[in-house]
Amino acid sequence: MNKMQIMKIFRDTAYIRTGGSAEELKCAEYIKSFCESLGESAVIEPFAVPMGDSISAEFKVNGTAISCKGYALCGSGTVKAPLYYLPGNDKASLLGCKDKIVMIDGYLGHWIYKDICDNGAVGFVTYDGDANYKDCDIDQRELRKLVVADGEKLLGVNINAKDAIKLVKNNLGEAEITVSQNEYEGESRNVILDLKGEIDKTIVFTAHYDSTSLSQGAYDNMSGSVGLMALAEHFSKNPHRHSLRFVWCGSEERGLLGSKAYCEAHEAELNDVVLNINLDMIGCIMGKFIACCTSEEKLVGYIEYMSSELGFGVKASQGVYSSDSTPFADKGIPAVSFARIAPHNTATIHNSYDTMAVMKAEHMAEDIEFITEFASRMANSAVCPVAKEMPEKMKEELDYYLLRKRKQ
C-alpha cells in the first residue's frame, strides 16, 4: 500500500463513527469491500450493544441553563439537589457527596462512580474539552455497564470545561438535571478476514475502526485500521506458515466491546491462537513509536533487537495497553500493541481535532513497514517463539485494568 492509497483511505473515512451507529456500519462495509478488492472475502460479524439515543437533557444551576449532553444509558427523569464539586477521592472530600449532584474531574471510571454512590450522591456532572481551547464542544458520554456494575444508575450530564470552571468560580448553587432518552439493545460489528496458512495455529491482528462522538478518529484509530488493511494486503500476496485472522473491531471506544464480544463468540478457537498483534494509533506527525507487550518479557527484548537491527526507533516495554489487545491477553494469549504516541500538545484524541491533519503519510508507511516485518517473522516462524503464558505481573495488571482489583 503506497502513501497515496493510505491518505485516500483517511479521506474516505473522515466521518464520525461511534459504536453501534449507522456510520460505524458504513465504515465496516468500506473495510469489507477493501478486503474484496484483494480477492478475499471478509464477514461483518454483529454483536449486541446497549444503545441510548434521542437524548435530550437540561442542566440548570440557580435556574440558569448550562449547555450539556445527557449521559446515554443513565435513565430518564429529573433530579434536584445542591451541586458539589469533588476535588479528589479522599475520604474527607467524598463526605461532601451526600445528597448532592456531584461534579467530578476527568472520566467517570468505575471506582469513582462507586465512591460517589457509596457516599450518597444523587446525580453527577462530568466535564471535558480544554479550558484553553476556543471550542465549546461537549462529548456524548455514556454510563457504561462496567462503570455501574451492580450499583444504582444516577442521572448525569457532561458539560464543557469552561462552564465547569465558571460554576466552581461562582460558588455552584442549586442544580437540576433532566434527561430523557430511548434505551434499547442495538448492534455493533467486527469485520473479520481469514487468510489460511499451512498450519492451524493462528495469529490474530486487531485494530478498532470506531470513533468517539466528536471525532473523525483519523489517528485514533483509522490509522491502525489502515495498518491492518496494509498487513492484509501484504499477506494476501505473500506466503505465511501460520493462519492469519484480521479483526477490525467495533465499539472499542465504548469499553473494548468488539474485542470482548469476539473473544466470547470465538472462545473455542482461541486454543489455536498463538499471538495477538494490535494496532491502535500509528503514523502521527510527532511522537515516539512504542510496542507494549502483554506477554513474557522476552518479547520486549526481541522487539528491541529488531529495532536496532532495522534502524527503526521503538520503545518496547511490558504492560497492559488500553485497547483491543487486552481481552486476548486476559484469555492467556500473548499480545503486543503497536502505537506512535504523540505528545499531548501536538495531537489529541476523542475530540474534533483528531483528523487527517495530525497524520503523516511517511510515518504511516514507515510504521506499517516495521509492523509488517515483525508480523512476517511471527507468521513464518516454525513455532511461534512467544510463550503462550501470562506472567503473574501481567495477570495482576489485567486484574486492575479489568476492574477485578482496585489500586490503593
Binding site for Zn ion (CB under 5 A): 220-221, 280
* CA–CA distance, 371 with 377 (Å, rounded to integer): 10
Other beta carbons within 10 angstroms of residue 294's beta carbon come to: 28
Cβ at position 299, least distance to Zn ion in Å = 21
Residue 56 vs 346, nearer CB to Zn ion: 346
Q: What is the CA radius of gyration of the chain?
A: 22
As measured in angstroms, the least distance from the Cβ of 326 to Zn ion is 12
Q: Give the residue with the Cβ less far from Zn ion, 70 or 224.
A: 224
Closest by CA to 19, choosing from 213, 192, 214, is 213
With beta carbons less than 8 A apart as the criterion, state whether 112 and 403 touch: no
Distance CA 282, CA 288 (A): 10
Cβ nearer to Zn ion, comparing 24 with 220: 220
Q: Least distance from C-beta 245 to Zn ion, angstroms?
A: 20
Sequence letter at residue 168: V
Sequence-separated contacts (24+) of 84-92 with Cβ below 8 Å: 84/172, 85/167, 85/168, 85/172, 86/116, 89/115
**CB of 324 vs Zn ion, minimal distance in Å:** 8
Q: Residue 266 CB, nearest distance to Zn ion (Å)?
A: 21
Cα distance between residue 147 and residue 109, in whole Å: 6
Minimum CB separation from Zn ion for residue 78, in Å? 35
Q: Which is nearer to Zn ion, 233 or 280 (CB)?
A: 280
Return left, alpha or beta for 99; rule: phi > 0 is left, psi -120 to 50 is alpha, else beta. left
**Is the CB of 176 or the CB of 280 nearer to Zn ion?**
280
- Give the nearer residue to Zn ion in terms of CB position, either 163 or 210: 210
